[in-house]
Each structure stands twice: as C-alpha cells, then as structure tokens.
Homo-oligomer: A and B are copies of this chain.
Amino acid sequence: MQKEFTDISKIGEFGLINKISETVKLYHLDSEKGIGDDAAILNFNGSKILVTTDMLTEGVHFDLTYMPLQHLGYKAVAINLSDIYAMNGEPRQITVSIGLSSRFSVEHIEEIYKGINKACEFYKVDIVGGDTVSSLSGLIISITAIGVANEKEITMRSGAQENDLICVSGDLGAAYLGLKLLAREKAAFEVAPHQQPQFDGYEYLIERQLKPEPRRDICNKLREAGIIPTSMIDISDGLSSELMHLAQNSEVGCRIYDEKLPIHQQSIRLCEEFNIDPSIPALNGGEDYELLFTIKQSDYEHIAKIENVSVIGHITSYKGLCEIVFRDGTAVPLTAHGWNAFVNDDETDM
C-alpha cells in the first residue's frame, strides 16, 4: 500500500476526525447534521432523531482487574446516553455490539448484560438490536444510541453567543482521580496481594469512574425552569477540550474563572495526597460526563435556583480564544489535550 506511514498520535484524535470528515459527503436532506456534534440529527418527516455511537476496548478504555463487568455494561450505555442528553434530547433505543475472546463465557456476557439492562431500565431505553461476535483478544463494546428531540429544544455546540454565561453541572475531575486511585491500588496489589485496597473516604471518586451517570436530571431541571441552553456538550474529554469545541463551533471565545470550578471535597483531598493542583484534573481529566452549556444572561436568575449547576464564566467575542482567570487576576489560554486515546491515556491528559 502506501510507502510512508503517519503515526496516529501525530495528528491526534481530533486531527483524525477532521481528516475523516473531509472525505465524507452527505446525499440525503434528512441527514440534517452529520459528524461534528455530540450526536447526529436526522429529520424524518419532521421527527428529529438523534444518533450517536461509542466504542470501548479492553486495556484502553477499561481494565477488568478493577472494572466489574456489570459496571462496564452500565457505563457503556451511560456514556452514549450522555451524548443524547447533551443535545437536549431523550434517548429511546440502543444497539449493542460485543466482541469477546475465548476467555469469556456465557456467564460473563450475562454479567455485562445485567449492567446494560440496569442502565436501560433506569433511563428507559430499549435494546433493539446488536451483534455478539468473537475477537482474537480482549473485550470490545460498541453501542449506538438513538434519541428523539423537540426541534425547538435541540442544543448544539454552535449556538453560544457573546456574553452568554458558561455553566457546568456537577463537579469536575473526580472520574479521572478515581481512575488514578484504582491504578495506584492495582499497583500496590501487585506488590502485596494480601493487602486490601485503600478506598476509604474516596468512595465518591471510585463511583464516578466505575458508574458514571448521564445528566438526565439536569436536562429535566432546565426544561422545568424554561431554560433552553444556547449551546451544550457533554464533558467526556475534559473541560478545556470541550470548551474549545464549543468556542470553535460557535465562533466565539470564552473566559472561565479558576475559583468557580466545581470540585468535590474528595477530589481536593486526593489531590493534596497526590500533590497536584485540583484545577488540573478538573480542566483536563476525562470521563466526568457532566454537561457544559451556555445560557443567556437573562436566564441567570433561573439557573441560580437549580442545584448542581455552577456558572463558571462567560462567552467573549475573541474568536477561538479560551482563557482561564486565576485568583490573582492572571489569565492563561486553555490548551485542549482531549482524551487522546492513541497515546498512553493514563499520562497525556494532565
């Protein structure tokens, strides 16, 4: 084939998505929005259908030494639903494809499906199809989620406007710190197999890593409060990266404040133990699956009444410039690492 090969890590995940997108043509008017948002928007006779997909592979996205199969099934559904909620839609159906090597048995698949079914029951989503195949090594889960949305409520990455307030749900960085903690205890276990893992006081971080929940509750609260975000995205790759997506797609800039970043007390405590600044995992840690969204300033009063939402900054007219302002007043441009799955995940995001 070709004689020169480019390592994927050289262009990164986002470079690769851009390269692929460039070659893609759309033939149908019903494909209203293709690649480039949390989910595609299809329009079938006026019904707006959302479609998104995510693939998880063993050893890259999960480690079965500390990820129970039920949790893995649950998480694989959750992260797909998160993309539907990020469009302000309601997930309805999923398809589930699983590839597994011969070390997995029928009972293992049943465990995975217990988790999948649990998520489906909780979020009222139907499994309507799938494929279960063998793989030469490891476990792969690929899920596609389909949702519906009200045309007037759909939120894309592209609607943010100057002076809009930047909001984020829940807290940031905990899922990444949970992963760090699990990795530390795995390493300790390998040295001293009889010692119990030390998770006391960090249960929240572990849960954030192993059982993330998409923020249906926040979408519902926004709806009840009559707020339609001007733009929205879910935080799967870290706040910095997602903010830059929003800014780029909306052709605006943004300014956030370090002191406003919502960080859980357990995150702060573990950061002290690890001797790192808690803002770093909050900005660049992945897998929080919180919602990042912008609202009109006039909605401030309403948003202030919603629990678990923090206003962390505002949109500016400085196209493409995303800045974080520290307590001492200095402003620093954000850099997006993304969750670059093509280099060592564990090390690149911080």
Q: Is the CB of B60 within 8 A of A133?
A: yes
Which partner residue on chain B sits nearest A103 by CB separation?
B5
Q: Does A191 make an interface contact (CB < 8 A)?
A: no
Q: Does A295 make an interface contact (CB < 8 A)?
A: no
Q: Does A23 make an interface contact (CB < 8 A)?
A: yes
Question: How many copies of this chain sit in the oligomeric assembly?
Answer: 2
Interface residues of A in 96-142 (CB under 8 A from B): 97-100, 102, 104-111, 113-114, 117, 120-121, 124-138, 140, 142
Q: Does A35 make an interface contact (CB < 8 A)?
A: yes
Q: Is the CB of B135 within 8 A of A136?
A: no
Which partner residue on chain B sits nearest A124 by CB separation?
B27
Residue in B10, B53, B105, B109 whose beta carbon sits within 8 Å of that of A130 in the complex: B53
Interface residues of A in 3-29 (CB under 8 A from B): 4-8, 10-11, 13, 16-17, 19-20, 23-28
Chain A interface residues (CB < 8 Å from chain B): 1-2, 4-8, 10-11, 13, 16-17, 19-20, 23-28, 30-31, 33-35, 39-40, 42, 44-47, 49, 51-61, 68-69, 92-93, 95, 97-100, 102, 104-111, 113-114, 117, 120-121, 124-138, 140, 142, 144, 146, 148, 341-342
24 pairs of residues in contact across A and B, judged by CB atoms under 8 Å: A1-B68, A1-B107, A2-B107, A4-B107, A8-B134, A11-B106, A16-B106, A19-B109, A24-B127, A27-B124, A28-B124, A28-B126, A31-B92, A40-B95, A51-B129, A52-B129, A53-B130, A54-B131, A55-B97, A55-B98, A55-B131, A134-B342, A140-B140, A142-B142
